[in-house]
Amino acid sequence: MEAREAILARVRDALGRSQTAPAPPVPRSYRATSDVAPGSDAALALLTDRLLDYKADAHACDEASLPAVLAGLLRLAGSIVVPPGLPTAWARPLADAGTVIRTDTREAPLSPAALDEVGAVLTAARVAVAETGTIVLDAEADQGRRAISLVPDHHVCVVRRDQVVATVPEAVAVLGRHPERPMTWIAGPSATSDIELVRVEGVHGPRRLDVVVVR
């Protein structure tokens, strides 16, 4: 440990501050808000544009038609996993049609192998960032454990109008109300170009992402 402290002390000295000097303040002159109001038609249009750019599929509906839209997106899944706090009405048409609904909880979590066998996952979201096309989950009861949104090959995520903000700082302010929750930031289907710059989808998470915006 003495060697470590000696090295860090040299680094601090090289940076021009002593070991006991307080760290300089972090500059926060970046843009924190936007002319696009949260939950506005402009915010929803921008989010849709960014989602499509990230190769996700975007859908819009009202509250009454949401279960039917979800049933249409998941009718071929065969089985889906849902978090314990998901509204029961969302998946009821699927259950009535014979789709197997599996609930994953912290007390009785499904194994990675079991999650890999289901056709899709259905969750809500905590916040969506219009400018970046990013959906953020924070493990609340209607979103569930991080694993359920990372293992299945198809993720259907429901976002409400009032959850759509324009900028990342606005989203961070929302997430900061519960900083203890684990977060999952989703920008389109999982993809990587690490090997020879060839895009491969479905490596680190779902190969297909459907975002349903409830207007």
Tens digits of residue pLDDT in 98-129: 999 999 999 999 999 999 999 999 999 999 99
Question: For residue 121, what is the enclosing H or E element?
Answer: strand 120-123
Q: Is residue 2 part of a domain?
A: no
Average pLDDT, the chain: 93
13 falls within a domain: no
| 134-144 tens-digit pLDDT | 999 999 999 99
Q: Find the CATH number of the domain harbouring 194.
A: 3.40.50.10420
CA angle (189, 194, 196) in 5-degree steps: 120
In a domain, residue 179? The reply is yes
The per-residue pLDDT for range 36-94, each reduced to its tens digit, is 999 999 999 999 999 999 999 999 999 999 999 999 999 999 999 999 999 999 999 99
Count of other CB atoms within 10 angstroms of residue 166: 24
Please give the tally of structural domains in the chain. 1
Q: With respect to residue 209, please indicate whether it lies within any of the assigned structural domains.
A: yes
Q: What is the pLDDT of residue 18?
A: 55
Q: Is the predicted pLDDT of residue 32 greater than 70, yes or no?
A: yes
CB 151 within 8 A of CB 116: yes
pLDDT at 97 over 60: yes
Tell me the pTM. 0.86
